[in-house]
Amino acid sequence: MFTGSNNININGLTSINSQRFHIAINYCNNVHIDGVKVSADANSPNTDGIHIQSSHSVHVTNSKIGTGDDCISIGPGSSYVNIQNIQCGPGHGISIGSLGRAAEELGVENVTVSNVDITGADNGVRIKTWGKNSKSFARNIVFQHIHMKMVKNPIIIDQHYCLDKPCPNKESGVKVSNVRYEDIHGTSTTEVAVMLDCSKDEPCTGIEMADVNLVLVNQQAQASCDNAHGFANDDVVPFTPCLKRAAV
């Protein structure tokens, strides 16, 4: 774990079967993580490969991560995060969040995830927020040049995320805006390959999709969409019904 540090370089590290997060970056600035290998059993909980929280200018590149939780998770208070050239899987994919567990929680902004292969994961690229009142946000996010192979939920926004039983059954106060999905291709293991489950109280806005093609192992997949607004090009498959069509 790195806390309250600046100008960090982590190169060529291998981490196997950590009891919890393998690499945690908290309250840090100007972090470069390159060429790391992280491995944990697919059924081991809370073994995130790299967790980033309350940190700025973080770059994760050229790494291979397979765990029982998120390959990379980006938590509250993080900004200007660049993730590039990653092999992810098994695990829970690359996640923004969870966000909004606390009412006064900070948000996440200016994140780019690019050139990623995700294989055999529960999720591909995910934004997850708690169904609670919160001032948190996720904005200015780009997911691009991503290949999915046998992924359960390739594209998902889950604004009713809950691990505390019973769940509060409230709408999330987290505002999700300006999220772009581009050049994302591959296979889903479930019929719903794209799920945008946004908050009724704070609908997702500025969602853009272009050059997306996700199939259910040689069959047509579907998209599910609630309270999301934006545009999708004609080359988006499956087409997301609540997004307006935009010319290619």
51 in catalytic set: no
Helix, strand or coil for residue 76?
Answer: coil
DSSP 5-28: -EEEEEES-EEES-SS-SEEEES-
CA separation for the pair 218, 170 (Å, rounded):
37
Which residues share a beta bridge with 176?
138
Closest by Cα among 29, 39, 26 to 9: 29
CA separation for the pair 92, 118 (Å, rounded):
10
Given the residues 59, 92, 185, 229, select the one marked as catalytic.
Answer: 92
Q: Which residues are catalytic?
A: 92
